Chain A
Amino acid sequence: MKLQKQWPLFEVFVRARAGLEHKHVGSIHAADARMAIEHARDAYTRRQEGVSLWVVRSADIVASDPADADALFEPAKDKIYRHPTFYTIPDEVKNL
């Protein structure tokens, strides 16, 4: 078997606190999933940035095609009625 010269790329997601979602923070190279977690830990959580990590092979991510951007995203531009901006929000409601 031919040895790969370059380790595969992994995308790294960090959960900052329990209850929050995992957020994409960057990527690292690693030989496998276990090493990817270790590298992600060393690169992205050493200043207490998180309590949980996800890593996923970058190659496994299915991305939208930039060429389709017009078809995919343009139509949303003039549909301002989809934003809930016509409601008055009671003072008691925080964090909306």
Chain B
Amino acid sequence: MSPYAAHADAGNSKRPQAAASNPATGTRCSSLPDDPRFGYALHLGDNALVLAQRLGEWVGHAPELEEDLAFANIALDLIGQTRYLFSYAAELEGKGRSEDDLAFRRDPHEFMNLNLVEQPNQDFGHTIVRQFLFDTWQLELFERLQASCETRLAELAAKALKETRYHWRFSAGWLVRLGDGTQESHRRVQDALDILWRFTHEFFTPGDVDRAATHARFAPDVATLRAPWLARVEPALQEATLIRPADVTHAWHGKQGRHSEHLGHLLAGMQYLQRTYPGAQW
């Protein structure tokens, strides 16, 4: 069944205002403009950008030249998605900010990425687990977002899906290789899974951006993604002879702009040039 409620206003008619402007949670919110599509585009774009930056850190360091290339390719796909989403967000905002301004001139609390993607790189297996968990989630989300009444998001999802399917094939393939590999590789990915699994709770817990998006009916309810996500994750874990960790229902709030200290360090490196020489071009 479609995750979208039936609605006749698919198109460009006025949508309800964002729930993001209704601070029911009382937590510190990012300053979201009223259009719920803006915050949602930032959320998806921030996921892609922050994960791409983490993958980029592998360049020159991956265990094999070929994997170095693979990570860089995935990172570049994600940056392509970021650019699409940020220019769309900048357009919606209409304040003259560019995609670069959104990437390089925002502070950590204005980023709305999932906590998972900012987790620092450890070993190769850890990066594979992080990628696998995220790819599977993005796959489920974008498959539904393809049918969005918001054509720009539907276009992005349709295009990004082809990339995400490849990313998933790569990360799931490596997960099985390492999990069902040597004792050492198995131990490492199981450890990574035990550490990273807790962050998947945020995938399916709506934040303000999600609530505003489902209220305006242009995005699926993230809670409905959990069952299909598990249906894809569990067989892969099984094949990889990995044990699914216990669910931890800690409420992470990356989507609300609350991050671990790791994001600040990541942004400091990523934004250094534009912060030091605003508007620098090359």
Give A contacts to B, CB under 8 Å: 3, 7, 28-31, 34-35, 38-39, 42-43, 46
Complex: A29 Cα to B169 Cα, angstroms:
18
Across the A-B interface, the 3 shortest Cβ-Cβ residue pairs: A39-B66, A42-B69, A42-B70
A36 to B, closest residue via Cβ? B66
User: Shortest distance in angstroms between B86's beta carbon and chain A's nearest beta carbon?
Assistant: 23
CB closest residue in chain A, given B72: A42
Complexed CA–CA distance, A34 and B66 (Å):
13
A-B contact pairs, 7 of them (CB 8 A): A3-B182, A29-B66, A30-B66, A31-B177, A42-B69, A42-B73, A46-B73
Look across to chain A and name the residue whose beta carbon is closest to the beta carbon of B65.
A29
A38 to B73, CA, bound (A): 11
CB A58 to nearest CB in B, in angstroms, measures 15
Question: Nearest-CB distance from A52 to chain B (Å)?
Answer: 16
Other CB < 8 Å A-B pairs besides A29-B66, A38-B173, 15 of them? A3-B182, A28-B66, A29-B64, A29-B65, A30-B66, A31-B177, A34-B173, A35-B173, A38-B70, A38-B169, A39-B66, A39-B69, A39-B70, A42-B66, A42-B69
CB contact list, B54-84 vs A, under 8 A: 64-66, 69-70, 73
Q: Is the CB of B170 within 8 A of A38?
A: yes
Q: Which residue of A lies closest to B69 (CB)?
A: A42
Q: Which residues of B contact A3 (CB under 8 A)?
A: 182
Most interface-central of A38, A39, A46 (chain B CB within 10 A): A38
B177 contact set on A, CB distance < 8 A:
31
The interface residues of chain A lying within 8 Å CB-to-CB of B70 are 38-39, 42
Residues in A whose Cβ lies below 8 Å from that of B182: 3
CB < 8 Å neighbour of A43 from B69, B169, B170, B173: B69
- Shortest Cβ distance from residue A32 to the other chain B in the assembled complex, whole angstroms: 9
Q: How far is the CB of A91 from chain B (nearest CB, A)?
A: 45
CA distance A7 to B66 in the complex (A): 11
- Report the bound CA distance from A39 to B64 in whole Å: 11
Report Cα–Cα, A3/B66, bound state, in Å: 19
User: Chain A residues with Cβ under 8 A from B169's Cβ?
Assistant: 38
CB-CB under 8 A from A30, the residues of chain B are 66
CB distance from A39 to the nearest CB of B (A): 4
Q: In the complex, what residues of A have CB within 8 A of residue B66's CB?
A: 28-30, 39, 42-43
List, in ascending order, chain B residues with CB within 8 A of A29's CB.
64-66
Q: Please, how many angstroms separate the alpha-carbon atoms of A35 and B73 in the complex?
A: 15
Instruction: Return the chain B residue nearest A6 by Cβ.
Output: B64
Are A7's CB and B73's CB within 8 A?
A: no
The residue of chain B having its C-beta at the shortest distance from the C-beta of A30 within the complex is B66
Contacts of A42 in B (CB 8 A): 66, 69-70, 73
A18 to B220, CA, bound (A): 39
Residues from chain A with a CB closer than 8 A to the CB of B69 are: 39, 42-43
Chain B, residue nearest A41 (CB):
B166
Cβ contacts under 8 Å, A46 to chain B: 73
Minimal beta-carbon separation of A27 from chain B (angstroms):
11
Q: Which A residue's beta carbon lies closest to that of B68?
A: A42
